Structure 1
Amino acid sequence: MMDALFLPALNHLLGAAPWARSRLQAHAGEVACLRLEALAIRFVITAEGLVAGAADDAPVAVSLHVPANALPRFAMGQFDGAMGAVRIEGNAEFADALGFVLRNLRWDVEEDLSRVLGDVAAHRLVGTAQAAAATLRDGAGRMGGSLAEYLSEEQGMLVPARAAELLGEEVRALRDAIARAEKRIERLERNLVR
């Protein structure tokens, strides 16, 4: 089921990226397995640098293990951060090529929409969506800050940052004072033994 969604989507992106296809062509015939928790998608690199479904018994050259917590970052377009969570095993050259392609492959939404809606409408729609996403991110950031302030100042459930810094300074000063006191005690003990 996922193969039927993933492979055409990946081929669509590769179709618009000649640099990615040429990088993958060197690995034509090699099989990779993308593992998302219990789900596994096996695919082979074609001579054109695209992907096709691979037989279940074909030997896997590279495995990409994607943790579930990386999926939201992929969905939000944070590819570099998300790829950092992906564990890649297998043939080093193929893994490097595949990792590079997956890190740098981007969907040109505006280009695809322009084919359906026209250039102007696609440009406006993408601009509106980007502005809405920025507004949501900004609002979420402000809401998080307000919640933290409420929990620390009003409810006393969190320690304010400045109070934590002051406590840290006091703990360091106390630790230094204890170390000095221990040294004095050691010197006094040595003087008493003599």
Structure 2
Amino acid sequence: MATQSPFSWLEGLLQNLPPLPNLQPPEWAVDEAQRRIVLLLNHILMQEVEATSRLARQKGRVVLMQWRSFSVRLVATPAGLLDRATAQDKPDLVLAVSEESPLTLAQNVLRGDKPAVRIEGDVQLAADVNWLVDHVRWDIEEDLARVIGDAPAHTLSQAARNMAAALRQFLGNAAAADSTKAPT
């Protein structure tokens, strides 16, 4: 017996919503969110020497990342970290996520799939960004251990890994059930 995903109605609802061009977060919230993202990315990059070395070679190069109406411009610093670029800075590389549906995008990411991305610009910069995506990982357990200790951090991390595995399995089963449904 094929089981339909409980999220299929939500995806249908999201796809049938009319575009809301005037619904934008306030500029200060976008600015603050981008600052926090840059801080997190730099924290992660500082834990990987090869990552900062690769980015240092790309100093001054600007990457524009886009998804729907959201975008952020990042520039590589001489230290091999990231900073926000200005809106006037011409991007050397544009990375635009092709998937429009937030639900489908989240499902793909939770399954471990990379989202489809349209890439325009410098090939070497794109290769270095791809290397970063493939090789740099945030050791959340290590950061958590600094705050609450090793044993509790390990326990929480293990619980999170188990929940993520269960969610991936559920999404895989739901996708398989959706693909085996007979067309009506």
Using the size of structure 2 for normalisation, the TM-score is: 0.69
Query: Residue in 1 aligned with 2:106?
Result: 72
Q: 1:118 aligns with which of 136, 145, 149?
A: 149
Tell me, what secondary structure is at the counterpart of 2:159?
A: helix
Which is higher, the Rg of structure 1 or of structure 2? 1
Query: Residue in 1 aligned with 2:51?
Result: 20
Matched residue type, 1:158: A
Over the aligned positions, Cα root-mean-square deviation in angstroms equals 2.6
Q: Is 1:43 aligned to 2:74, yes or no?
A: yes
Structure 1 contact 31–62 (Cα < 8 Å) conserved: yes
Structure 2 contact 111–171 (Cα < 8 Å) conserved: no
Give the superposition deviation at 1:28.
0.4
CA distance in 2, matches of 1:6, 1:77: 23
Matched residue type, 1:52: D
Query: Residue in 2 aligned with 1:158?
Result: 182
Structure 1 contact 73–82 (Cα < 8 Å) conserved: no
Q: 1:53 aligns with which of 70, 84, 98?
A: 84
For structure 2, the 5+ residue unaligned runs are 1-29
Give the superposition deviation at 1:104.
2.2
Q: 1:34 to 1:143 in 2, by over 3 A?
A: closer
Q: 1:92 to 1:129 in 2, by over 3 A?
A: same
Structure 2 contact 111–172 (Cα < 8 Å) conserved: no
Give the superposition deviation at 1:103.
2.7
Give the superposition deviation at 1:25.
0.8
Deviant stretches of 4+, over 6 Å: none
Q: 1:44 to 1:141 in 2, by over 3 A?
A: closer
**Which of the pair is proportionally richer in helix?**
1
Using the size of structure 1 for normalisation, the TM-score is: 0.66
Query: Residue in 2 aligned with 1:29?
Result: 60
Matched residue type, 1:122: A
Query: Residue in 1 aligned with 2:9?
Result: none
Structure 1 contact 71–82 (Cα < 8 Å) conserved: no
Matched residue type, 1:86: V
Equivalent pairs counted in the alignment come to: 148
Q: Larger relative contact order (C-alpha < 8 A, sep ≥ 6)?
A: 2
